[in-house]
Amino acid sequence: MQGLINLALPWQHLVEKPIKPRRLDLYLAGELADSNLSRSTIQRLIHEGWVKLAQGKNTEQPIFSPAHRIQKGDHLKIIQPGPTSPPLSDHPLKLSVLFENNDFLAIDKPPGLITHPTSSLALKLHANLADRLGMLQRPSVLTWILHHLPANNAFPRYGIVHRLDAATSGVLLIAKTQDSYEILQRLFKKRQMTKTYLALVHGVIQKRQFEINSALTARYGRNRMTMALAGPGERSRSAATTGEVIKTYNNASFLKVYPSTGRTHQIRLHLSSIGHPVLGDPLYGRKTPGHSDLASHSSFNPQPATRNPQLPVSRLMLHAWKIRFTWPVTSRMIEIRSPLPADFRKNFLFYLKQWPPL
């Protein structure tokens, strides 16, 4: 397992128990159940020639068919990619760099760009193998890193210390050294990063300031994972969000949002849970997730649902506007801002007839 995930050594296995002839992909899926490799990924490994098999003293040979029947005594091996692997797929991706020093940089992630492939396994595999498995075909921040920061191949998660949803734009930090990766991770873990988001939400929020403390849990559907407020006894992770109303309109509110934790979809679900989903949110914007004792989790008392329809916007109206922290190496306070993207401002102007009040 370690050989596959870390690629330090080939993964090897001897089929010792008597079994009926069984498909190679099914057998490997069972043996590698803890490795996060899906059956389709295993099939691609086989098709690409990474799986070899030897019977008895015979020389090992690559097996290209997932349906190959294995039997007791077979020696299986999954090889690590060699130096002759083809170069990564070319992605003509240009990203604006908001800040850079010798330790880390901050990019301005545009809306619609994923931080890394849907399968986080791509962050654990060697880049050439992830590319051969088709994980890097879609442009992402990760593919940009592989082309522009080749030294990051040696770092955990390629230097990615946090992520933004694909639809969310704004500031994203990337470590440039092993030490800075560990320092940035520690700052996030200790909640010493002050993150400020801008959000345009549905409805008029009456309180100028509010706080939401609602634990989140994952829900796994047929095609994707979504988040939900955790019920009593459910396995969950704590999540805390505070907000400040900048300005209200007839059927919308413009907010500064400060997440003190960094859970998946945290801001979107928390705002939806109080009846004010982020405009343009296809996951949490159409209906408000129910929670019987929301008041016990939040200082905000939800208002009755407004009759005004949600504004039809062309993007998720959520932007990672600012991040502020003290860099321990120099004791310097660093603040990095991302200007509101043009599509955010245009949606704001078109539907509210004025520019964002910043």
pLDDT at residue 130, as a whole number:
65
Q: DSSP secondary-structure letter at 85? A: P
Extract the tokens encoding 326. Answer: 């003290």
Extract the tokens encoding 62. Answer: 């690559």
Count of other CB atoms within 10 angstroms of residue 120: 11
Strand 11-14: give its sheet, edge to edge. 11-14, 74-78, 51-55, 61-62
pLDDT at residue 306, as a whole number:
37
pLDDT at residue 129, as a whole number:
62
pLDDT at residue 194, as a whole number:
96
Contact status, residue 231 vs residue 195, Cβ threshold 8 Å: no
CA distance 167 to 165: 5
55 — phi, psi (to 5°)? -110, 120
Q: DSSP secondary-structure letter at 123? A: G
Name the residue among 86, 9, 78 with its Cα closest to residue 49.
78
Name the residue among 127, 141, 150 with its Cα closest to residue 97.
141
CA distance 216 to 99: 32
Name the residue among 123, 102, 245 with its Cα closest to residue 179.
102
DSSP 53-65: EEETTSPPEE---
Kindly give the confidence (pLDDT) of every residue in the chain, 358 residues in length, as a single tens digit, with 9 standing for 90 and above: 333 343 334 777 888 876 766 888 888 887 877 666 777 778 877 876 778 888 776 777 888 788 888 888 888 888 755 544 444 555 568 899 999 999 999 999 999 999 987 655 556 566 666 666 666 677 889 889 988 888 887 788 889 999 999 999 999 999 999 999 999 999 999 999 999 999 999 999 999 999 999 999 887 665 567 888 888 888 888 999 999 999 999 889 999 999 999 898 999 999 999 999 999 998 898 543 333 222 333 333 334 333 344 567 889 999 999 999 999 999 999 999 999 999 999 999 988 888 898 7
47 — phi, psi (to 5°)? -60, -35
Contact status, residue 266 vs residue 239, Cβ threshold 8 Å: yes
263 — phi, psi (to 5°)? -80, 155
Three-state secondary structure call for residue 204: coil
Element (H, E) at 174: strand 169-175
Contact status, residue 37 vs residue 25, Cβ threshold 8 Å: no
CA atoms within 13 A on the CB side of 226: 14
CA distance 118 to 226: 13
CATH number of 83-186: 3.30.2350.10
pLDDT at residue 206, as a whole number:
92
All CATH 3.30.2350.10 domain ranges of the chain, comma separated, are 83-186, 191-218+229-358
CA distance 265 to 148: 28
Contact status, residue 337 vs residue 358, Cβ threshold 8 Å: no
Alpha carbon dihedral 228, 229, 233, 237, in 10-degree steps, equals 90
The radius of gyration of the chain's CA atoms, rounded to the nearest angstrom, is 24
CA distance 237 to 229: 10
pLDDT at residue 85, as a whole number:
43
324 — phi, psi (to 5°)? -140, 135
pLDDT at residue 154, as a whole number:
76
Per the listing, tokens 């929670």 go with 291
CA distance 126 to 141: 16
Q: For domain 2-78, which CATH number applies: 2.60.120.10, 3.10.290.10, 3.40.630.30, 3.40.605.10?
A: 3.10.290.10
Domain formed by 191-218+229-358, architecture: 2-Layer Sandwich (3.30)
pLDDT at residue 59, as a whole number:
76
All CATH 3.10.290.10 domain ranges of the chain, comma separated, are 2-78
